[in-house]
Copies of this chain bind each other. A is one copy, B any other.
Amino acid sequence: MKKVGLLLILLGLSAASFLVFAEAPTCPADLGGKCDDSDDWKGEFFAGIPKIKYEGPSSKNPLAFKWYNAEEEILGKKMKDWFRFSVAFWHTFRGTGGDPFGAPTKFWPWEDGTNSLAMAKRRMRANFEFLKKLGVEWWCFHDRDIAPDGQTLEEANKNLDEVVELAEELQKESKIRPLWGTAQLFLHPRYMHGAATSSEVGVYAYAAAQVKKAIEVTHYLGGENYVFWGGREGYQSLLNTDMGRELDHLARFFEAAVAYKKKIGFNGTFLIEPKPQEPTKHQYDWDAATSANFLRKYGLIGEFKLNIECNHATLSGHTCHHELETARLNGLLGNIDANSGDAQTGWDTDQFLTDVAEATMIMFSVIKNGGLAPGGFNFDAKLRRESTDVEDLFIAHISGMDTMARGLRNAAKLIEEGTLGEVVSKRYSSWDSELGKQIEEGKADFEYLEKKAKEWGEMKVASAKQELAEMIFQSAL
């Protein structure tokens, strides 16, 4: 076998999923061994799982929503419209439980251990069944997750087209659309030095071709956004890196992407997803402010928004709430990758968020932003490696959606009660004065301010009432 051929097979696997193996041919468990290994098998993949329904907080049913009630209105908008939840194809359908020290642990019954086109299509059908049963109308994907890579770019594109065609067909019968698409520019060894920031000019060209295609298919499928996550755009060591040149290349790449998007009439939002590090020692899109600075420096500020991931936020030393507010105040809050890290680990754990307090703070930002549309909440979250039952996929998503729903309900309650808001507005009330107005309008120069300071003498500075604010907040959870 040729090196390239073997490479191909292996690279079809998505980022976190190096190995997939199972008895072949397999098929949904409920068929008891008899099955059809062709790609147009159309049976039920999750036979034991019903459509997930809202049953309210007193329900003990793990396969029911206790707080997420899609059609219920909160602050004048349906819950489903506040969230626009999306399932991440890579974690849910290509995650295998592999980690840096461990082999895959997940052997889903529909997987046959191959990375064939037939398998890709069967998996896509499973995806749509999952979305429908969960009651979610958006999905997100990398190009190389959904279709096998090819020995050549042409072959890879052909594979992609074939799976996209099926996805388009499956979408037709539903409201389901991609929240966003993206290109996988980190798994293949070609990208080991970066894609747009690779030290090899040929890699830059290849990445451009791949992104071009990924934008096209996202557009074709009705995707509302397109994401750039530069997992390899950064450095491992400054000793062998020309950071200035690499950053310039990244800007050229984004400029060309913008030009191409306009050329083909794709109106979706371009989103940069900041992450400080991992796999790279230092990624260029470190956090929201760093990404904003990059966009401003290169005159790209109007063309991009940000996709804030909570786990990335904490890895960069900020809270998720901080990153959302930073994005919002820079006019850049476009989408949220709803997940959570582990406060005691220094790597991306991509857990489903189950912290109600954090969810409440997230929803404060989202409400202030007037929602996220055309963005939404993508569950960039995965099962723990040790969770190996098919139902765990549902339990995890239900838990994540319920947590966010509790966050929305709590945030709405706090806003409607107004007590917390009063603490804040009272705190800044001195700024609602004549002098406050002059300063905010840029009319108070240092000499005028010095005159005022001398007139006033020592001023009284009030308590910040942080414990009161925390008490009000905690009581609402």
Q: Is A325 an interface residue (CB 8 A)?
A: yes
* Contact residues on A (Cβ < 8 Å of other chain), bracket: 35 or more
* Chain B min CB distance to A469 (Å): 4
* Chain B min CB distance to A229 (Å): 10
| Given contact pairs A201-B433, A453-B153, A384 touches B467 in the complex (Cβ within 8 A) | yes
Are B464 and A202 touching (Cβ within 8 A)? no
Residues in A176-228 with C-beta less than 8 Å from chain B = 186-193, 198-206, 208-209, 211-213
- Chain B residue, CB-CB nearest to A253: B439
- Chain B residue, CB-CB nearest to A261: B446
Are A435 and B344 touching (Cβ within 8 A)? no
Q: Is A174 an interface residue (CB 8 A)?
A: no
Whole-angstrom CA separation of A445 from B231 in the bound complex: 23
Are A388 and B477 touching (Cβ within 8 A)? no
Q: Is A75 an interface residue (CB 8 A)?
A: no
Partner of A454, one of B2, B153, B248, B252: B153
* Chain B min CB distance to A404 (Å): 12
Whole-angstrom CA separation of A193 from B6 in the bound complex: 31
| Given contact pairs A103-B188, A193-B464, A252-B439, A345 touches B22 in the complex (Cβ within 8 A) | no
Q: Is A468 an interface residue (CB 8 A)?
A: yes
User: What chain B residues lie within 8 Å of A465 (beta carbons)?
Assistant: 240, 387, 389, 392
Q: Is A51 an interface residue (CB 8 A)?
A: no
Q: Is A249 an interface residue (CB 8 A)?
A: yes
| Given contact pairs A193-B461, A243-B325, A473-B239, A277 touches B344 in the complex (Cβ within 8 A) | yes
Whole-angstrom CA separation of A102 from B440 in the bound complex: 27
Are B459 and A203 touching (Cβ within 8 A)? yes
| Given contact pairs A18-B98, A100-B15, A240-B464, A281 touches B343 in the complex (Cβ within 8 A) | no
| Given contact pairs A238-B325, A260-B445, A292-B293, A103 touches B464 in the complex (Cβ within 8 A) | no
A-B contact pairs, 8 of them (CB 8 A): A7-B21, A154-B454, A201-B433, A212-B446, A247-B329, A314-B344, A389-B463, A392-B463
